[in-house]
Amino acid sequence: MKRNIVEKIIDAPAEVLELGIEGSQKLVKNMPYANGPNPITRARNFWFLLGPGLTTGASDDDPSGIATYSQTGAQYGFSLIWLSLATFPLMAMVQEMCARIGLVSGRGLAGNIRRHFSRRVLYVSTLLLFAANSFNIGADIGAMASATQLVLPKFSFTALVIGFTLLMMGLQIFTPYVRYARYLKYLALVLLAYILSAILAHPQWTTVLHHTFVPNLQLGKDQLLLICAILGTTISPYLFFWQTSQEVEEEIAVGQTTIKSRMGSDAKAMKRMRIDVWSGMLLSNLVMFFIIAACGSVLFSQGITNITTAAQAAQALRPFAGDATYYLFAIGIVGTGLLAIPVLAGSSSYAISEALGRRQGLNNKLKDAYTFYGVIIISMLLGLSINFLGINPIKALIYSAVANGIVAPVILTLILLLANDKKIMGEWVNGRFTKVVGWGIVLLMTLAGAAAAYVLVS
């Protein structure tokens, strides 16, 4: 199948994909909005270009990430808001490498690591990823339940965490991929709630922009740990595996069911991917920016500096920023959880299934991919159990951060080695600039992991 056909329909609605390749080709050709000068047409075309990159970037702003950004703004005001600008290109470059690997090789990240490197490294990395993601899932499920209680206080915490767990498991297992991918794409729009909540908080934008472009570092233990947490939540291993596998899933969805048919790429597909990935990472970092701005302008100025959960941030904002900000913040927590938790569970499942050489992918039915869906079920149930074992959600996130700090530099190194290898990547191999920046990111994440470990044990 020609790549230009795939490029036209790969991000079309589920109704288009369900028509099949020939029907989709005819429909796309005759779409009245396929070309046109007016802004609505251009906006709609841009929306159809977005896919795995958008959902990957949006899933990075999970309830745990929201709690981290809220604490940053509450404890340090606008001092660390520059991180939202600094992490954007780093995050985007890593995710673009992952996407290129998926497009060119036709395999997920774990499948490529299994083929080209020691399986022992892969097995250890995937187990640490699974553990980190399970802790993160547990904390996020608890955060969603707490946020729901802010709006609907009569619902019990137990019923909510069980209900959310069953809902997300059911969607992942029983919803066809093309429809499920569409749900995730529209869920990304919930992040706009945080942009609106920050605008309603009325921060001093001149001060905010000054701190955005003029870094302010103190590097005390608390600030160092928070910087490491932000790096860990933006350049995170689960995003690497999800991005690569979703590029493959998109190709399978339009009929490229064999590795041979998926191998290779062209300039149009790469252009689409880059627009998608960089847009998704921009959205992710914009949300970080606005959350820090909202909490910095309201909570920090009021001396409310000890924020440990996203729900607590919503409650603290209400007396000063009003009900609208409060409800937007709370609704955003639930929406981002519905988006991020399936990504966390799915990335573990892709990694483990590919590491073991088992069939994987949301395109498969349960009976055809027991290992893949089994990992999703186990990780979701482990996450659920954390909410009943008396494990402090903040400690769960610390454990997750430590595991990610160990895994991230290792996986990043393997990604660089894959993306730098001309035999694997052909004409889409990393250029000199990307190689230099890539190794710089590996060094940065290694130092961040070491610094976090030092602060925790000292």
Verify that 8 and 108 share a domain, yes or no.
Answer: no
Q: What pLDDT shows up at residue 161?
A: 94
Q: What pLDDT shows up at residue 65?
A: 85
Q: What pLDDT shows up at residue 418?
A: 95
CATH number at residue 138: 1.10.4160.10
Asked if residues 112 and 70 have their Cβ atoms less than 8 Å apart, the reply is no
Q: Tell me the average pLDDT across 146-167.
A: 92
Between 399 and 260, whose confidence is greater? 260
| Entry field: residues in the chain | 458
Asked if residues 81 and 207 have their Cβ atoms less than 8 Å apart, the reply is no
Angle at 388 between CA 384 and CA 392, to 5 degrees: 95
Verify that 31 and 102 share a domain, yes or no.
Answer: no
Verify that 334 and 199 share a domain, yes or no.
Answer: yes
Q: Cα–Cα distance between 357 and 353 in angstroms, integer? A: 6
| Confidence class for position 23, pLDDT limits 50, 70, 90 | very low
Verify that 331 and 414 share a domain, yes or no.
Answer: yes
Q: Cα–Cα distance between 99 and 248 in angstroms, integer? A: 9
Q: Cα–Cα distance between 177 and 179 in angstroms, integer? A: 5
| Confidence class for position 18, pLDDT limits 50, 70, 90 | very low
- % of the chain surpassing 90 pLDDT: 37
Q: What pLDDT shows up at residue 35?
A: 52
Q: What pLDDT shows up at residue 454?
A: 78
Verify that 284 and 412 share a domain, yes or no.
Answer: yes
Between 287 and 398, whose confidence is greater? 287
| Closest C-alpha to 293, from 167, 205, 184, 359 | 205
Q: Tell me the average pLDDT across 143-149.
A: 89
3-class secondary-structure state, position 36: coil
Q: Is residue 399 over pLDDT 80?
A: no
Verify that 61 and 200 share a domain, yes or no.
Answer: yes
Q: Tell me the average pLDDT across 219-226.
A: 79
Q: Is residue 241 over pLDDT 70?
A: yes
Q: Tell me the average pLDDT across 254-261.
A: 77
Verify that 105 and 167 share a domain, yes or no.
Answer: yes
Asked if residues 404 and 125 have their Cβ atoms less than 8 Å apart, the reply is no
Verify that 317 and 375 share a domain, yes or no.
Answer: yes
> Residue 41: inside a domain, yes or no?
no
Verify that 20 and 56 share a domain, yes or no.
Answer: no
| Closest C-alpha to 393, from 159, 134, 61 | 134
Verify that 31 and 141 share a domain, yes or no.
Answer: no
Q: What pLDDT shows up at residue 8?
A: 43
Verify that 158 and 69 share a domain, yes or no.
Answer: yes
Q: Which of 252-261, 286-295, 412-421 has the lowest mean pLDDT?
A: 252-261
DSSP one-letter string for 221-234: HHHHHHHHHHHHHH
Supply the pTM of this predicted model: 0.86
| Confidence class for position 164, pLDDT limits 50, 70, 90 | very high
159 CB contacts (<8 Å, ≥6 apart)? none
Verify that 398 and 425 share a domain, yes or no.
Answer: yes
> Residue 45: inside a domain, yes or no?
no
Q: What pLDDT shows up at residue 306?
A: 81
| Domain span holding position 450 | 50-457
> Residue 40: inside a domain, yes or no?
no
> Residue 203: inside a domain, yes or no?
yes
Q: Is residue 98 over pLDDT 90?
A: yes
Q: Is residue 75 over pLDDT 70?
A: yes
DSSP one-letter string for 271-307: HHHHHHHHHHHHHHHHHHHHHHHHHHHHTGGGT----
| Closest C-alpha to 211, from 90, 83, 65 | 83
Helix residue ranges, H only, 235-369? 237-253, 259-262, 267-298, 310-321, 323-355
Q: Cα–Cα distance between 227 and 250 in angstroms, integer? A: 34
Q: Cα–Cα distance between 3 and 108 in angstroms, integer? A: 19
Query: Of 38-42, 254-258, 279-283, where does the model show the most confidence?
Result: 279-283
> Residue 262: inside a domain, yes or no?
yes
| Confidence class for position 323, pLDDT limits 50, 70, 90 | confident
> Residue 170: inside a domain, yes or no?
yes
> Residue 44: inside a domain, yes or no?
no
In whole numbers, what is the pLDDT of the chain averaged over residues? 84
Q: What pLDDT shows up at residue 428?
A: 92
> Residue 3: inside a domain, yes or no?
yes
| Confidence class for position 132, pLDDT limits 50, 70, 90 | confident
How many structural domains is the chain composed of?
A: 2
